[in-house]
Amino acid sequence: MDATSFKKDFPALRNTDLVYLDTAASSLTPTSVIKQMNEYYEHYPVNVHRGVYKLSFRATEMYEAARNTIAEFIGATFEETVFTRGASSALNLVASAYGLTNLKEGDEIIVSELEHHSHILPWQNVAKKTGAKLIYVPLTPAGRITVDNFKHVLSDKTKMVVLTHVSNVMGYETPIENIITLAHAQGAIVSVDAAQSVPHKPVDVKKMDCDFLAFSGHKMCGPTGIGVLYGKKHLLDDLEPIEFGGDMNDNVEKYDAHFKDTPYKFETGTPPIAEAIGLAAAIKYLRSIGFETIYAHENHLKEKALDALEKLEGITVYNPGTDTGIITFNLDGVHPHDAVSFFDEDNIAMRAGHHCAQLVMRFLDVPATLRASFYLYNDEADVNRFIENVKAARAFFTEVGF
C-alpha cells in the first residue's frame, strides 16, 4: 500500500513533517469525515427524533442511517447497536446494567492483566458491590492470554468473562473465539473490549459470538465523543437503563415510566448526532481502502521497525512478537517522559506512560513505557525517521549521563 498517497487525506499531515505514531491512543481524522460532520452542522444542525419539521427529519434520517452502517460493519442488527460517549462508557454500561444486576456473592469474573482501565475498573466495582470475585487469567512469560491458561481458571462459578480483543500495550490478539466457546459451555457471559481491534481488522460479532462488544470512533479515523456497544438483543432487552431522561421513554406517569425498546432506552438526552454521522463516514473511508490492506500495511511497517530496533543496543522491546502495529519499548535507563520529549523535538508524536494499563506495567516491572503505533497514514519514511531518532536519543542520553 502506498501510504504516502493517503497522507493527503488527513489535514493534520498536510504541509508538515509530522510523524504521527500515537494511533493506539487516537487516530487522525480524514477530510471526508470532517466534511460529513460539517455538512450536518451547516445544513441540518438540529436534534433528532422529536422534531416534526424537515430539518429534524433529515437529521434523524442521517443519524439512523449511520447506525445501520455501523451495525452492518460489525455484523450486528440495528437494535443491537447502542451509541455511547465512547468505549469506556459502553464497557461501564455492561458492568453497571448487567453485572450489578446479575452477579452475586461467590460468582467469578474472569479478567486479565492486559485490560485497559476502562475494562477492569468497572468490574472491580461490580465485585466490591456484589461479592463476586475477580479471577485473573495467568499470562505467559511473554504476556499473552492462551486458551490453555484460560481453561485453568474457568469453572462452574464463572459467570462473566471480561477480556480485551487486542492489548493496547502489548499488541497481542486474544484467541477470543475459542475462549467464548469455552465460556458459553459453562453458561458465562462474555464482554469484549475491541477498541484496538475494530479499527484494524474485520470483526464480526456473530461469528465471534460475543455477548457484548465495545469500541470507539476516535481510534478509527472517526470523531471523539462516540462509542458503540454491541449486545445480543435478548440480553439488551433484559437490561434496565442506567441513565434516565428525555427520549428514552414512551410514557411517563407520576410514579412510573415505560421505556423504549433497545437501543433507545440506553440513549437518553441529545445523542452524538454529528459524531455518529462522522463515524459512519470513517467506516466508509476505511472500507474504501480495505481492512486486509490496512492490517498488512501496518504490520509491514511494524516488522521493519522491529528489525531495526533489534540491532540497536540499549533498547528494550517488551513485545517483539506483537500481532499488530503496536511496539512498546524503552531506552534503557531513561524515563519514557524524557525520551518522548526528545522525539517531540523532531516532530515525532508518540505516547509515553502507563497507557491506562497499570497492571501491564506491573507485569513488565516498569513504571511506564514508550509506545509507537502505526496506521494506514504511516509509511517507510516515518519508520526511518523513527529509527534515526531512537539512535539519536540513545546517543544523547548516553552523553548526558543517563
Question: Measured in whole angstroms, how far is the alpha carbon of residue 82 from the centre of its chain?
Answer: 15
Q: How far apart are CA 288 and CA 7, in angstroms?
A: 15
Distance CA 295, CA 323 (A): 10
- The CA distance from 298 to 115, in Å, is 23
Single out the residue of 72, 328, 303, 336 nearest to residue 196, CA to CA. Answer: 328
For 334, the grid coordinates are 531513561
**Distance from C-alpha of 400 to C-alpha of 402, rounded to nearest angstrom:** 6
385 C-beta neighbours (distance < 10 Å), count: 17
CA distances from 99 to 88, 104, 126, 129 (A): 15, 9, 6, 10
d(CA 346, CA 343): 6
Q: For residue 210, what is its C-alpha cell?
A: 460475543
- Say if residue 174 is exposed, middle or buried (CB neighbours under 10 Å; 0-12, 13-18, 19+): buried
Helix axis angle, 273-289 relative to 54-74, nearest 10°? Answer: 40
Q: Look up cell 465471534; give the residue.
A: 208
Active site residues: 356
**Residue 333 corresponds to which cell in the numbers above?**
535507563
CB atoms within 10 A of CB 245: 11
Contact criterion met (CB below 8 Å) for 75 and 283: no
